[in-house]
Amino acid sequence: MNKLEAHIVLARCPKHNKDLYGIRMEKTQNGWKLTWAFPVDEGKAKSEGYDRTELRGNFSPAENYNGCPMCKAKVFLYCPNCSKITCYYGESHASCAWCGFSGNIEEQDDLSLKGGTM
Ligand SMILES: [Zn+2]
Ligand SMILES: [Zn+2]
């Protein structure tokens, strides 16, 4: 029996008032697969403990992944300062919707992006 491991990771959407949403990620042999994104309110995120989830590894969207519920982005920016994620649109300079850290995007491997220093 394969036990499915899945977690909810929180992200913020910079295009929509930095609203919170959750991304369901499933563990596969090749890393984490993004399977579903849904809006979450701050209170629920805290009570469910979503804000404490931190995952490492490779991330890739499942074929039918729906993307950010507000802006539809399927790619996210990983903040090296606070370890949280924000919708990302391919800019060379971007900022974190959680802590405001901003920098040039130096490194890109599929979905996990890292902001550099100012
Ligand atoms: Zn978004
Ligand atoms: Zn941050």
What is the mean pLDDT for each group of 10 consecutive residues in the chain (118 residues)? 84 95 92 93 90 81 94 88 88 90 70 41
Give residue 80 CA to ligand 1 midpoint distance, Å: 19
Record the pTM.
Answer: 0.84
Q: Please name the residues in contact with 11: beta carbons below 8 A apart, sequence gap of 6 or more.
A: 20, 21, 22, 23, 37, 68, 76, 84, 85, 86, 87
Give residue 116 CA to ligand 2 midpoint distance, Å: 12
Neighbours of ion ligand 1 (CB under 5 A): 13, 68, 70-71, 73, 87
Give CA–CA dist 46/13, Å, rounded: 18
Give residue 1 CA to ligand 2 midpoint distance, Å: 38
The pLDDT assigned to 115 comes to 42
The pLDDT assigned to 118 comes to 31
- The domain ranges of the chain are 6-115
Residue 40 phi, psi (nearest 5): -135, 140
The pLDDT assigned to 112 comes to 44
Which ligand approaches the C-alpha of residue 23 most closely? 1
The pLDDT assigned to 21 comes to 96
Give residue 90 CA to ligand 1 midpoint distance, Å: 13
